[in-house]
Amino acid sequence: GQQVMQIPQYQHVQEGEDFTTYCNSSTTLSNIQWYKQRPGGHPVFLIQLVKSGEVKKQKRLTFQFGEAKKNSSLHITATQTTDVGTYFCAGSPRAGTYKYIFGTGTRLKVLA
Amino acid sequence: KAGVTQTPRYLIKTRGQQVTLSCSPISGHRSVSWYQQTPGQGLQFLFEYFSETQRNKGNFPGRFSGRQFSNSRSEMNVSTLELGDSALYLCASSPAGWDEKLFFGSGTQLSVL
Protein backbone atom coordinates (compact mmCIF):
# COMPACT_ATOMS: atom_id res chain seq x y z
CA GLY A 1 0.00 0.00 0.00
CA GLN A 2 0.91 3.63 -0.18
CA GLN A 3 3.53 4.72 2.31
CA VAL A 4 4.83 8.06 3.48
CA MET A 5 8.23 8.00 5.12
CA GLN A 6 9.91 10.75 7.07
CA ILE A 7 13.54 11.24 7.94
CA PRO A 8 15.11 11.60 10.33
CA GLN A 9 13.10 9.76 12.96
CA TYR A 10 14.73 11.79 15.74
CA GLN A 11 16.71 15.00 15.80
CA HIS A 12 18.40 16.74 18.69
CA VAL A 13 19.61 20.28 18.06
CA GLN A 14 21.07 23.09 20.10
CA GLU A 15 18.81 26.06 20.46
CA GLY A 16 19.53 28.43 17.60
CA GLU A 17 20.50 25.69 15.13
CA ASP A 18 18.46 24.93 12.05
CA PHE A 19 16.34 21.80 11.58
CA THR A 20 14.96 20.03 8.52
CA THR A 21 12.65 17.05 8.18
CA TYR A 22 11.95 15.30 4.89
CA CYS A 23 8.85 13.51 3.76
CA ASN A 24 8.76 11.00 0.88
CA SER A 25 5.74 9.30 -0.62
CA SER A 26 5.75 6.12 -2.68
CA THR A 27 3.12 7.67 -4.98
CA THR A 28 2.11 11.10 -6.24
CA LEU A 29 0.11 13.17 -3.81
CA SER A 30 -2.80 15.51 -4.44
CA ASN A 31 -1.66 17.74 -1.62
CA ILE A 32 0.37 17.52 1.55
CA GLN A 33 -0.20 18.87 5.03
CA TRP A 34 2.10 19.33 7.99
CA TYR A 35 1.16 18.90 11.64
CA LYS A 36 2.95 19.44 14.92
CA GLN A 37 2.29 17.34 18.00
CA ARG A 38 3.67 18.52 21.30
CA PRO A 39 4.57 15.86 23.90
CA GLY A 40 1.34 14.58 25.44
CA GLY A 41 -0.74 16.59 22.97
CA HIS A 42 -2.59 16.07 19.73
CA PRO A 43 -1.58 16.96 16.17
CA VAL A 44 -2.12 20.61 15.27
CA PHE A 45 -2.33 21.73 11.65
CA LEU A 46 0.53 23.89 10.40
CA ILE A 47 0.09 24.25 6.65
CA GLN A 48 -1.16 22.71 3.40
CA LEU A 49 0.70 22.64 0.09
CA VAL A 50 -1.10 21.90 -3.14
CA LYS A 51 0.95 22.99 -6.15
CA SER A 52 4.01 21.32 -7.59
CA GLY A 53 7.15 23.14 -6.41
CA GLU A 54 5.19 25.26 -3.94
CA VAL A 55 7.09 27.02 -1.15
CA LYS A 56 5.38 28.60 1.84
CA LYS A 57 6.83 30.38 4.84
CA GLN A 58 5.49 30.91 8.33
CA LYS A 59 7.91 33.05 10.32
CA ARG A 60 10.87 30.72 10.94
CA LEU A 61 9.24 27.73 9.19
CA THR A 62 9.66 27.05 5.46
CA PHE A 63 7.67 24.35 3.73
CA GLN A 64 8.32 22.93 0.26
CA PHE A 65 6.39 20.57 -2.00
CA GLY A 66 8.47 18.72 -4.57
CA GLU A 67 8.11 19.17 -8.32
CA ALA A 68 6.88 15.60 -8.70
CA LYS A 69 4.49 16.02 -5.76
CA LYS A 70 6.01 12.98 -4.06
CA ASN A 71 8.16 14.69 -1.46
CA SER A 72 8.10 17.62 0.89
CA SER A 73 10.27 19.25 3.50
CA LEU A 74 9.92 21.43 6.57
CA HIS A 75 12.82 23.65 7.56
CA ILE A 76 12.99 25.55 10.84
CA THR A 77 15.50 28.36 11.12
CA ALA A 78 17.09 29.15 14.49
CA THR A 79 15.16 26.63 16.56
CA GLN A 80 13.67 27.59 19.89
CA THR A 81 12.63 25.43 22.83
CA THR A 82 9.01 26.02 21.83
CA ASP A 83 9.68 24.07 18.61
CA VAL A 84 9.95 20.81 20.57
CA GLY A 85 7.54 18.14 19.38
CA THR A 86 6.91 15.64 16.62
CA TYR A 87 6.36 16.92 13.11
CA PHE A 88 4.18 14.87 10.78
CA CYS A 89 3.53 15.22 7.11
CA ALA A 90 0.23 13.90 5.81
CA GLY A 91 -0.42 13.21 2.16
CA SER A 92 -3.70 12.97 0.33
CA PRO A 93 -3.43 10.25 -2.35
CA ARG A 94 -5.81 12.07 -4.66
CA ALA A 95 -8.42 14.77 -4.37
CA GLY A 96 -11.60 13.69 -2.71
CA THR A 97 -10.37 10.49 -1.10
CA TYR A 98 -11.26 11.82 2.35
CA LYS A 99 -8.20 10.28 3.96
CA TYR A 100 -4.67 11.28 4.75
CA ILE A 101 -1.64 9.03 4.92
CA PHE A 102 0.51 10.26 7.75
CA GLY A 103 4.26 10.10 7.69
CA THR A 104 6.18 8.32 10.40
CA GLY A 105 7.04 11.64 12.07
CA THR A 106 10.23 13.36 13.17
CA ARG A 107 10.67 13.99 16.86
CA LEU A 108 12.56 17.19 17.52
CA LYS A 109 14.33 17.97 20.78
CA VAL A 110 15.85 21.38 21.31
CA LEU A 111 18.61 21.71 23.88
CA ALA A 112 18.78 25.08 25.61
CA LYS B 1 -15.98 27.83 19.35
CA ALA B 2 -15.43 24.60 21.23
CA GLY B 3 -12.85 22.24 19.82
CA VAL B 4 -13.17 18.55 19.03
CA THR B 5 -14.22 16.67 22.16
CA GLN B 6 -13.36 13.04 22.74
CA THR B 7 -14.56 10.91 25.61
CA PRO B 8 -13.41 9.19 27.65
CA ARG B 9 -9.84 10.48 27.95
CA TYR B 10 -8.51 7.18 29.31
CA LEU B 11 -9.79 3.63 29.19
CA ILE B 12 -8.47 0.38 30.59
CA LYS B 13 -9.95 -2.84 29.27
CA THR B 14 -9.05 -6.50 29.25
CA ARG B 15 -8.62 -8.76 26.25
CA GLY B 16 -11.85 -9.93 24.71
CA GLN B 17 -13.91 -6.98 25.90
CA GLN B 18 -15.36 -4.36 23.61
CA VAL B 19 -15.11 -0.60 23.83
CA THR B 20 -16.93 2.43 22.42
CA LEU B 21 -15.25 5.78 21.98
CA SER B 22 -17.06 9.04 21.34
CA CYS B 23 -16.18 12.14 19.35
CA SER B 24 -18.03 15.44 19.08
CA PRO B 25 -16.74 17.54 16.18
CA ILE B 26 -16.44 21.29 16.02
CA SER B 27 -19.85 22.86 15.50
CA GLY B 28 -20.61 23.02 11.78
CA HIS B 29 -18.08 20.34 10.84
CA ARG B 30 -19.70 17.41 9.12
CA SER B 31 -16.66 15.22 8.40
CA VAL B 32 -15.19 13.08 11.16
CA SER B 33 -12.11 10.89 10.76
CA TRP B 34 -10.59 8.43 13.17
CA TYR B 35 -6.90 7.60 13.52
CA GLN B 36 -4.99 5.12 15.64
CA GLN B 37 -1.67 6.33 16.98
CA THR B 38 0.97 3.98 18.33
CA PRO B 39 4.70 4.57 18.93
CA GLY B 40 5.67 1.96 16.38
CA GLN B 41 3.15 2.62 13.60
CA GLY B 42 2.49 6.34 13.87
CA LEU B 43 -0.96 7.60 12.84
CA GLN B 44 -3.01 5.05 10.94
CA PHE B 45 -6.26 6.01 9.23
CA LEU B 46 -9.28 4.04 10.44
CA PHE B 47 -12.30 5.58 8.69
CA GLU B 48 -14.02 8.79 7.69
CA TYR B 49 -17.69 9.73 7.98
CA PHE B 50 -19.75 12.48 6.44
CA SER B 51 -23.50 12.91 6.82
CA GLU B 52 -23.78 9.53 8.54
CA THR B 53 -22.05 7.75 5.64
CA GLN B 54 -18.66 6.09 5.72
CA ARG B 55 -16.77 7.43 2.71
CA ASN B 56 -13.42 5.75 3.23
CA LYS B 57 -11.81 3.22 5.48
CA GLY B 58 -8.30 2.08 6.27
CA ASN B 59 -6.82 -1.38 6.51
CA PHE B 60 -8.12 -2.47 9.87
CA PRO B 61 -9.95 -5.70 10.73
CA GLY B 62 -13.72 -5.80 10.96
CA ARG B 63 -13.47 -5.60 14.76
CA PHE B 64 -13.09 -1.87 14.23
CA SER B 65 -16.30 -0.14 13.30
CA GLY B 66 -17.79 3.30 13.50
CA ARG B 67 -20.86 5.33 12.92
CA GLN B 68 -21.95 8.92 12.72
CA PHE B 69 -25.16 10.45 13.97
CA SER B 70 -27.32 13.13 12.41
CA ASN B 71 -25.72 15.78 14.65
CA SER B 72 -22.27 14.75 13.23
CA ARG B 73 -21.16 13.18 16.49
CA SER B 74 -19.32 9.95 15.87
CA GLU B 75 -18.53 6.79 17.75
CA MET B 76 -16.08 4.03 17.07
CA ASN B 77 -16.31 0.56 18.46
CA VAL B 78 -13.66 -2.09 18.87
CA SER B 79 -14.88 -5.59 19.66
CA THR B 80 -12.93 -8.52 21.03
CA LEU B 81 -10.05 -6.36 22.15
CA GLU B 82 -6.49 -7.55 21.65
CA LEU B 83 -3.34 -6.40 23.38
CA GLY B 84 -2.20 -4.78 20.14
CA ASP B 85 -5.22 -2.48 20.19
CA SER B 86 -3.60 -0.44 22.95
CA ALA B 87 -3.14 2.97 21.41
CA LEU B 88 -4.17 6.60 21.36
CA TYR B 89 -7.32 6.93 19.28
CA LEU B 90 -7.65 10.34 17.71
CA CYS B 91 -10.69 11.86 16.15
CA ALA B 92 -10.42 14.74 13.68
CA SER B 93 -13.09 16.93 12.19
CA SER B 94 -13.30 19.26 9.21
CA PRO B 95 -16.12 21.10 7.47
CA ALA B 96 -16.49 18.72 4.53
CA GLY B 97 -13.43 16.45 4.60
CA TRP B 98 -12.37 17.37 1.08
CA ASP B 99 -8.67 18.26 1.19
CA GLU B 100 -9.14 20.43 4.26
CA LYS B 101 -7.11 20.80 7.40
CA LEU B 102 -8.01 18.46 10.19
CA PHE B 103 -8.83 19.58 13.72
CA PHE B 104 -7.86 16.86 16.16
CA GLY B 105 -9.30 16.08 19.55
CA SER B 106 -7.13 15.22 22.54
CA GLY B 107 -7.72 11.53 21.95
CA THR B 108 -8.71 8.51 23.99
CA GLN B 109 -5.82 6.52 25.44
CA LEU B 110 -6.88 2.88 25.40
CA SER B 111 -4.92 0.29 27.34
CA VAL B 112 -5.74 -3.37 26.85
CA LEU B 113 -4.49 -5.68 29.60
Question: Which chain A residue's Cα is nearest to B33?
Answer: A99
CA distances from A70 to A9, A66, A67, A91, B45 (A): 19, 6, 8, 9, 19
Flag whether pLDDT at A95 surpasses 70: no
Q: Looking at residue B39, what is its pLDDT? A: 86
Summarize pLDDT for A34-69 with one digit per residue, the tens. Answer: 999 999 999 999 999 999 999 999 999 999 999 999
Assess B62–A contact: CB distance below 8 Å, yes or no: no
Short-list A111, A87, A98, CA closest to A31: A98
Determine, for residues A98 and B55 on separate chains, whether the beta-carbon distance falls below 8 Å. Answer: yes
Query: Which residues are registered as beta bridge partners of B78?
Result: B19, B64
CA distance A44 to chain B (A): 7
Closest Cβ opposite residue B45 in set A43, A99, A103: A99
Q: Compare A99 and B1 and report the one with higher pLDDT.
A: A99
Q: Does B50 touch chain A (CB under 8 A)?
A: yes
Is there a contact between B42 and A48 if contact means CB atoms under 8 Å apart?
A: no
> Does residue B53 sit at the A interface (CB-CB below 8 Å)?
no
Please give the pLDDT value at position A15: 97
First-to-last C-alpha distance (Å) of chain B: 37
**What value does the mean pLDDT of chain B take?**
95
| Model confidence band, residue B42 (pLDDT cutoffs 50, 70, 90) | confident
Contacting residues of A for B107, CB less than 8 Å apart: 42
Residue by residue, DSSP assigns B17-78 as --EEEEEEPPTT--EEEEEEEETTTEEEEEEEEETTEEEEE-S--TTEEEEE-TTS-EEEEE
Report DSSP state, residue B90: E
